Amino acid sequence: DAGVTQSPTHLIKTRGQHVTLRCSPISGHKSVSWYQQVLGQGPQFIFQYYEKEERGRGNFPDRFSARQFPNYSSELNVNALLLGDSALYLCASSSMPGQPQHFGDGTRLSIL
């Protein structure tokens, strides 16, 4: 079975632009979470979706938004990009919240 897939793998944007990151969970998994990982630090929780509803939101500004589709795939959108948004964005899926999460390899976002 395929693991969690994320696209694109790398992305370069300039300040003020908008970005959309995509994630396909493991088949059968209904919970998707998004994390931001800055170099040298642990992942920081951004959003969690379960059964297409937002179940949790981390301490991120309203420029960050997400949604989950009927097939349980998910998108993370970031508007008005700042230099500080440069990071590895990780998507993780699980059968339900609280269960071990399976991570994709992330999208490396660089802001110039």
Chain positions contacting other proteins, by CB under 8 A? 4, 33, 35, 41-45, 48, 55-56, 58-59, 90, 92, 97-98, 100-106
Q: How far apart (Å, rounded) are the C-alpha atoms in residues 66 and 86?
A: 18
Nearest distance from C-beta of residue 23 to other proteins, angstroms: 11
Q: Which is nearer to other proteins, 5 or 19 (CB)?
A: 5
Give the nearer residue to other proteins in terms of CB position, either 50 or 78.
Answer: 50
Minimum separation from the CB atom of position 18 to other proteins (A): 24
Q: How far is the CB of 90 from other proteins (least distance, A)?
A: 6
Task: Give the CA angle between residues 63, 13, 72 to the nearest 5°.
Answer: 55
CA pair distance 14, 18, nearest whole angstrom: 9
Taking CB atoms within 8 Å and a gap of at least 24, the contacts of 51-58 are 55/31, 55/97, 56/97
User: CB-wise, 41 or 80, nearer to other proteins?
Assistant: 41
* Distance in Å, CB of 79 to other proteins, minimum: 22
Task: Give yes or no for a cis peptide into 8 (omega within 30° of 0).
Answer: yes
